[in-house]
Homo-oligomer: A and B are copies of this chain.
């Protein structure tokens, strides 16, 4: 999403909206947060939940989330290593957003990711959506 993260928000009102998604974007962050909402998880536990996210990506996303103060990383001085990730207070405060996303997705997304219902390109009889007719 290209550097919205931590830019200055001079914009008018919607800035807070922009700021919020800025922290939550990035292909895996929202899902990671969502899973952490259910409780603390270890690195590979997350990996299993979010399959086909490479370890590199996972590390990246987790680091950014941590840098933004949304999650907490706890390292146990053991071997084999044990690292636990959990939501910080700030991250927890995102619960309403996450739940809203989940609710909307459950209600509106088909198996193939396209929103369900009324395809806007379906030729509508009373046609009011032309393109290129300009």
Q: Which residues of A pack against B, CB within 8 Å?
A: 1-2, 4-9, 11-12, 14-27, 30-31, 34-35, 49-52, 66-70, 72-75, 77, 81, 88-90, 93-94, 96-98, 100-109, 111-115, 117-121, 128-131, 133-134
Q: How far is the CA of A21 from the CA of B106 in the complex (A)?
A: 12
Q: Does B93 contact A97, Cβ atoms closer than 8 Å?
A: no
* Pairs A–B under 8 Å by Cβ, sample size 22: A1-B1, A11-B31, A12-B51, A14-B31, A14-B35, A16-B101, A16-B102, A16-B106, A16-B109, A18-B31, A19-B109, A19-B113, A20-B104, A20-B108, A67-B121, A69-B119, A74-B128, A75-B131, A81-B134, A90-B117, A93-B104, A96-B100
Q: Does B134 contact A17, Cβ atoms closer than 8 Å?
A: no
